[in-house]
Amino acid sequence: MRSKISPFVAFACATGLSLSIFVGPALADARTVTGDVSAISVAAIDPSRAVSLSLQMTHPNPYNDQEPGQLPQGPMGGHIITVSRVSGVDLTTVAGWETAKKLTVAQAREKGLAEAARAQTDDSGRVSFFGLTPGLYLVEETVPSNPDVEYVATRPFLVTLPIGDGQNGVWDYDVELLAKTDKVPPGETTPPETLPETPTMPPFTPPDTPKESTPPEEPGPGPSDPPVVPTTSTSSVTPAPPVSGIPGEPGEPQGPLARALASTGASVVGLVLVAGGLVALGAVLSRRRKEDS
């Protein structure tokens, strides 16, 4: 059974629409492309049957405005696609499939690679390989070395050949994939294997509050030290002169001045009494004199 690219997808690729839809397994994730193998028996794989692989690279949107200083878009043709078989993975066994599903690109490189084929994309960004044997493959893309343009390319990915056709319950030996592309960093010929992550700020950790230090105690006098005599202030403050006022209230005269005032007050009272008596006596005498006359 051959998985063909639908007319809509072919039209989208021809018109340069940047799409992530596809016919067949997705290449947007870093996981191995296996197809739907949930209901297919591994024992049904024919290890002697040749497998073909066709890739269609997605085009960038030609209607995007070019930013100032941005390089023009490079052509889709002339990109080198390399297909390498991963060593030590047997797809005719369940264990081999479990390994293939979990393997990363870095782990696949560590297991060892054997280049199986290499070809260039045509002007539409399409490339095909034929006569491959069943197994796990690493697909890599290298763009032309041209610093005057900006290229897009697919990231390295793993794919099993054949892949599972779960809809029909068979293994697909004629594999066609629509590969999502990313911008290649300036000066590079291959895209990064993983997209750079947005840096995150580390969580804020408040500094530890310093513990209050206890001041050291002053040592007491030793046997040979002179005795410590507490110092007192010898300066004196001259109080302001008191203000006379009501006795018993603040500002009441004190001391000799108060005694002098008290004595003067007593003399005045005595004089008043004597004067009053004389006036009364004069009045009595004047009345008697009038009566005698």
DSSP state of 259: H
Please report the pLDDT score of residue 151 as a whole number. Answer: 93
Backbone angles phi, psi at 13, to 5 degrees: -65, -40
3-class SS of residue 216: coil
Instruction: Give the mean pLDDT of the chain.
Output: 74
CA 154/CA 190 separation, integer angstroms = 8
CA 150/CA 135 separation, integer angstroms = 34
Residues comprising the chain, all counted: 293
* Region of residue 125 (phi > 0: left; psi between -120 and 50: alpha; otherwise: beta): left
Least confident of 10-19, 26-35, 155-164: 10-19
CB proximity list for 121: less than 8 A, separation 6 or greater: 55, 57, 76, 77, 78, 79, 81, 127
**Pairing of the two strands 33-35 and 51-57:** unpaired
Least confident of 16-25, 77-86, 134-143, 225-234: 16-25
Bridge partner residues of 174 (DSSP): 2, 52
Residue 36, exposed/middle/buried by CB under 10 A (0-12, 13-18, 19+)? middle
Please report the pLDDT score of residue 62 as a whole number. Answer: 73
Please report the pLDDT score of residue 86 as a whole number. Answer: 98
Which domains are delineated in the chain?
33-60+82-183 (2.60.40.10)
**Would the pLDDT of 122 be above 90?**
yes
- Tokens 């004069």, located at residue: 282
Model confidence pLDDT, tens digit, residues 37-83: 999 999 999 999 999 999 999 988 777 777 788 888 899 999 999 99
**Would the pLDDT of 23 be above 60?**
no
Least confident of 24-28, 54-58, 118-122, 284-288: 24-28
Please report the pLDDT score of residue 33 as a whole number. Answer: 97
Q: 37 near 165, Cβ under 8 Å?
A: no
Token pair in block for residue 72: 């023009």
Model confidence pLDDT, tens digit, residues 206-252: 555 555 556 556 555 554 454 444 444 444 444 445 444 444 444 44
Region 180-189: mean pLDDT is 81
Least confident of 66-75, 91-100, 107-116, 186-195: 186-195
CA distance readout (Å), 68 to 71, 72, 153? 9, 11, 22
The rounded percent of the chain whose pLDDT value lies above 70 is: 59
Region 142-164: mean pLDDT is 95
Bridge partner residues of 55 (DSSP): 127, 177
pTM of the complete model: 0.57
